[in-house]
Amino acid sequence: MNDVEKVRQLTSGIDGWLSDSEGELLYELAKKVPSGQAIVEISSWKGKSTVWLAKGTEAGQRNKVHSVDPHSGSKAHISEGETNTYPAFVDNLTKAG
């Protein structure tokens, strides 16, 4: 199993709208970020794209990934009672390593 397949497996159980092909693109882009530069992600929700970015830079220059999200859910999620996505975000990143 290659690295991309491993990340695909890691992210398969994480809620989100990111497709595998989009995740692979994020992985490849993160892998190519020059040393000493940071990756900033706006809107991480439960961390699916964050894992792709983190694993990509781990395979590259090991740059920092900063994720910005209020973790308060969208109007649709609030109506379903899901108002705090931060615990799921942390859990998903912890499981991914």
pLDDT at 68: 97
- E strand map for 27-97: 39-42, 65-68
List pLDDT tens digits, range 59-75: 999 999 999 999 987 77
Q: Which residues pair with 68 in a beta bridge?
A: 42
pLDDT at 81: 72
Mark the ranges of the chain whose per-residue pLDDT is less than 50: none
The whole-angstrom distance between residue 82's C-alpha and the CA centroid of its chain comes to 19
Task: Please count the structural domains in the chain.
Answer: 1
pLDDT at 74: 74
34 contacts 7 by C-beta, under 8 angstroms: no
What secondary structure letter does DSSP report for 34?
P
pLDDT at 80: 73
pLDDT at 34: 98
Residue-number span of the structural domain to which 36 is assigned: 3-96
